[in-house]
């Protein structure tokens, strides 16, 4: 049989609004994996993100792509995570992918009826539209090539814990139970690599979590029971129904911890089943979104939003070059970008990029690059 050279894809495209790819954030990882999986399924998914994972089958969303779809009257399906407030791109059709409790880490607590909502778990859809209550898309984002049980019955000793948002966002104080535990951190100079974390989990007797984190799943994949420590910012797990309770304890009651230890050996096989289920859920996601978007016209081309409205995006970009007429506008435009870059890359990273731009074309180059930071026309 002769295979066609031209693509036969007739799906409406997906624009996934996501932060720059980092492995240390399960939410960011899930968004990029969603784009990867959609493309593997034969869809056309583009990432509105300034940094992609080269190992994923993902494509950047460019101005040419948006112009092509608008000129051909092909309505895009714009996917926002729950942390993005409103509809900053002015998209005609929005899918809201809720990966954490709405409003906990920013964004809106409720979404307009015009948006189609999908949840990382069933719990996260509570309070949304009745027709969306079964729209679960649980993305198993842990890499089983790194996080897996030990090859032999290795003796376990000690414990470790994770409390990143609990400490740094909510200013929480850790409990005495983790005083002698090793703290797993992220994005710090001395933070462990994924491989080092996996080795630690394969040797630890227990892992404690002060917040919903994929590290709990990664712990159970390594044969280490995970104990969630309830607190004012952790009142329930995000995906109890989807991920199950094998190897997972809610609270530090000795009987509950013993149950987790006795069942953790089942967690790895459970996870492999979740991966199979994901592909079924993705088929349903594609069918529902494609059927719904067919009803939407695309009269006005979407544009990128201001940085302050879109906390996930913030770096030099050729996506949208607004016309800033006055010197004052240019100054504040450049200043906004520099603040965003400093938050994303740190001061050292910012200085390096500015020096590079100066070498390439002087101060005008710095300003022109800064102007590409997602200002509305």
**Is position 285 within any domain?**
no
Report the pLDDT value the prediction gives residue 341, as an integer from 0 to 100.
54
Judgement on whether residues 266 and 183 belong to the same structural domain of the protein = yes
State residue 208's pLDDT score: 98
pTM as predicted: 0.76
In angstroms, rounded to a whole number, what is the distance separating the alpha carbons of residues 314 and 306?
Answer: 9
Which structural domain, as residue segments, surrounds residue 46?
Answer: 14-137
What are the Cα distances from residue 147, in Å, to 197, 199, 299?
9, 9, 47
pLDDT digits (tens, 9 = 90+) for 25-66: 888 999 999 999 999 999 999 999 888 999 999 999 988 899
For residue 108, give the 3-state DSSP assignment: coil
Cα gap 117→94, rounded to integer Å: 9
Tokens of 357: 């731009």
More confident residue, 21 or 103: 21
- Tell me, yes or no, whether 359 lies in a domain: yes
List phi, psi (to 5°) of 23: -75, -20
Shared domain for 165 and 114, answered yes or no, is no
pLDDT number for residue 49? 85
In a shared domain, residues 222 and 335: no
Enumerate the β-bridge partners of residue 17.
Answer: 48
pLDDT digits (tens, 9 = 90+) for 103-141: 877 788 889 999 999 999 988 888 777 788 889 999 999
Indicate whether 277 belongs to any domain.
no
Q: What is the model's pLDDT at position 106?
A: 75
- Which residues have a Cβ under 8 Å from the Cβ of 315 and sit 6 or more positions away? 20, 50, 51, 337, 340, 341, 344, 345, 373
If you search the block for the tokens 């938050």, which residue do you land on?
Answer: 343
Residue 331 neighbours by CB under 8 Å, 6+ apart: none
Task: Tell me how many degrees the CA angle 270-274-277 measures, rounded to the nearest 5.
Answer: 140
Three-class secondary structure of residue 42 per DSSP: coil
In a domain, 88, yes or no: yes
| Predicted confidence (pLDDT) per residue in 282-338, tens digit | 999 999 999 999 999 998 888 754 333 333 333 333 333 444 456 665 565 556 556
Residue 287, domain member (yes or no): no
What pLDDT does 78 receive? 96
User: Same domain for 163 and 196?
Assistant: yes
- Calculate the average pLDDT of the chain: 84
More confident residue, 309 or 181: 181
Q: Is residue 307 part of a domain?
A: no
Distance CA 258, CA 205 (A): 11
Contacts of 167 (CB under 8 A, 6+ apart): 174, 210
Of 73, 103, 137, which residue is a domain's last?
Answer: 137
Question: What is the predicted pLDDT for the residue at 148?
Answer: 96
The pLDDT tens digits of the residues spanning 133-152 come to 889 999 999 999 999 999 88
Residue 373, phi then psi, degrees to nearest 5: -95, 35
133 and 33 in a single domain? The answer is yes
Q: Which of 237, 271, 305 corresponds to the end of one domain? A: 271
Structure tokens at 238: 């995000």
Rounded average pLDDT over 267-290: 96
More confident residue, 303 or 233: 233
In a domain, 363, yes or no: yes
């Amino acid at each position: 049989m002769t295979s066609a050279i031209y693509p036969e894809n007739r799906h409406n495209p997906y624009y996934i609004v996501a932060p720059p790819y980092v492995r240390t954030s399960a939410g960011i990882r899930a968004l990029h994996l969603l784009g990867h999986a959609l493309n593997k399924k034969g869809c056309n998914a583009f990432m509105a993100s300034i940094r992609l994972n080269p190992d994923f089958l993902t494509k950047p969303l460019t101005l040419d792509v948006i112009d092509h779809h608008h000129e051909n009257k092909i309505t895009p399906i714009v996917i926002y995570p729950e942390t993005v407030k409103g509809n900053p791109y002015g998209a005609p059709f929005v899918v809201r992918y809720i990966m954490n409790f709405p409003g906990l880490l920013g964004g809106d607590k409720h979404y307009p009826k015009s948006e189609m909502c999908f949840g990382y778990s069933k719990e996260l859809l509570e309070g949304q539209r009745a027709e969306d209550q079964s729209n679960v898309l649980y993305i198993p984002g842990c890499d089983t090539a790194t996080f897996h049980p030990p090859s032999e019955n290795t003796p376990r000793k000690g414990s470790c814990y994770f409390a990143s948002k609990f400490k740094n966002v909510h200013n929480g104080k850790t409990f005495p139970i983790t005083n002698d535990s090793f703290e797993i951190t992220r994005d710090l100079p001395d933070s462990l690599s994924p491989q080092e974390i996996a080795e630690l989990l394969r040797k630890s007797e227990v892992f404690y979590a002060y917040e919903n984190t994929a590290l709990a799943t990664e712990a159970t994949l390594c044969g280490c029971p995970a104990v969630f420590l309830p607190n004012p910012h952790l009142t329930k797990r995000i995906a109890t129904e989807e991920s199950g309770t094998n190897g997972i304890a809610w609270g530090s009651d000795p009987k509950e911890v013993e149950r987790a230890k006795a069942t953790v050996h089942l967690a790895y096989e459970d996870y492999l089943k979740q991966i199979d289920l994901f592909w079924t859920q993705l088929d349903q996601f594609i069918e529902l979104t494609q059927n719904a978007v067919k009803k939407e016209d695309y009269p006005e081309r979407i544009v990128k939003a201001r940085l302050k409205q879109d906390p996930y995006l913030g770096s030099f970009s050729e996506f949208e070059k607004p016309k800033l007429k006055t010197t004052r506008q240019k100054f504040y435009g450049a200043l906004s970008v520099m603040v965003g870059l400093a938050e994303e890359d740190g001061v050292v990273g910012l200085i390096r990029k500015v020096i590079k731009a100066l070498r390439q074309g002087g101060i005008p180059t710095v300003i022109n690059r800064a102007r590409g930071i997602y200002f509305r026309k």
